[in-house]
Structure 1
Amino acid sequence: MPGVIRSYVRIVDALNYRLGRVVMYGIFVMVGILLWSSISKTFFLPSLWTLESAQFAMVAYYMLGGPYSVQLGSNVRMDLFYHNWSARKKAWFDAFSILFLIFWLGVMLFGAVESTAYSLEYGER
């Protein structure tokens, strides 16, 4: 690898490590948001912001903490059988499983269109 690319990879790895060390405490932010949501719904008026805040915190935790987990090798590998298969069997499995992906993406697109239509109908911004 050329020196420039090697330096770039080292910088990205270092940034990823530092960011991951900070983001791993984001679980406490999510717990705090969900705890406040439970308390406010039980004793006070429910806070409307807690659901979206918890979702955004979870996405940030996943998107920023995932690379850190992969970097440390602590991610869960899902290729229990797949890595032992021949290239031909992998290709057949991929060709079959892509149908499920296309179906899921279609469902997601349908939901997005419905939500967008609802938002436009009621003038949400």
Structure 2
Amino acid sequence: MNVEQAAPARPGGIWGAIGHYVRFIDRISDYVGYLAASLIFMMGGVLIFDAVTRNLLKMPVHWAVELTQFTLAAYYFMGGPFTLKNNEHVRMDLWYSSLSERGKAKADLATVWCLIFYLGVMLTGSISSLQYAIATNEKRFSIWNPSVIPIKALLTACLVLMLLQAFSLVFKHIATLRGEKF
């Protein structure tokens, strides 16, 4: 391989490790986000099944709407890290769009700590709620009576991934301020 064909050198040391972390978390967020997107088809299928059994066969299934609610919750939970990674979250833009790339990185670096605090509080609550659900074998009060442990476990896992993605954002903003990219 001659010099012109050589791949660009990646920084070593701590920034190299941080770059690996950022790429790894981004990849996981992508996979989880694409899996979440596929849940739309599951929800549609369950609702169509419910409509057919209730209206055409006159045999309503009592679990269909509740399963769709659980699936929708999973869709929201799993979409969070993907939304953060792709910078597609809602932002009130009074002056942000007029900032330079470095200005946006400074603003984002200042505000991402509020997100990290919020996610930390949410994660603490979700862990407590999951522990309670496991200890009491918590179930929904309905005809179907499903366990809520799986959805609470998914919420906790997705909050962990969102927190990891938030730290990935911190590193990306610092890299932007340093004139680098991951």
TM-score normalised per structure 2: 0.40
Residue 13 (str. 1) matches residue 26 (str. 2): yes
In the alignment, what sits opposite 1:42?
Answer: 55
Percent identical pairs in the alignment equals: 29
Q: How many residues in Structure 1 have an aligned counterpart in Structure 2? A: 85
What secondary structure, in the 3-state scheme, does the structure 1 residue paired with 2:61 have? coil
Give the stretch that moved more between structures: 49-58 or 7-16. 7-16
| Matching of residues 1-125 of structure 1 within 5 Å | 2=14, 3-43=16-56, 44-77=58-91, 79-80=92-93
Deviations 1:57-115 (A, max 9, x none): 101111112221222223332x24597xxxxxxxxxxxxxxxxxxxxxxxxxxxxxxxx
Q: Which runs of 5+ in 2 are unaligned?
A: 1-12, 97-137, 142-146, 148-182
User: Offset at 1:22?
Assistant: 2.6
Deviations 1:9-37 (A, max 9, x none): 32111111122123212111111111112
What secondary structure, in the 3-state scheme, does the structure 2 residue paired with 1:57 have? helix
Runs of 4+, deviation exceeding 3 Å: 3-6, 80-83
User: Offset at 1:6?
Assistant: 3.7
Distance verdict in 2 for CA 1:82–1:45, change over 3 Å: farther
- Superposed CA RMSD in Å reads 2.8
Letter in 2 for 1:76: V
User: Offset at 1:42?
Assistant: 0.8
Distance verdict in 2 for CA 1:82–1:47, change over 3 Å: farther
Q: Which runs of 5+ in 1 are unaligned?
A: 84-115, 120-124
Letter in 1 for 2:39: G
Separation in 1, partners of 2:64, 2:94: 40
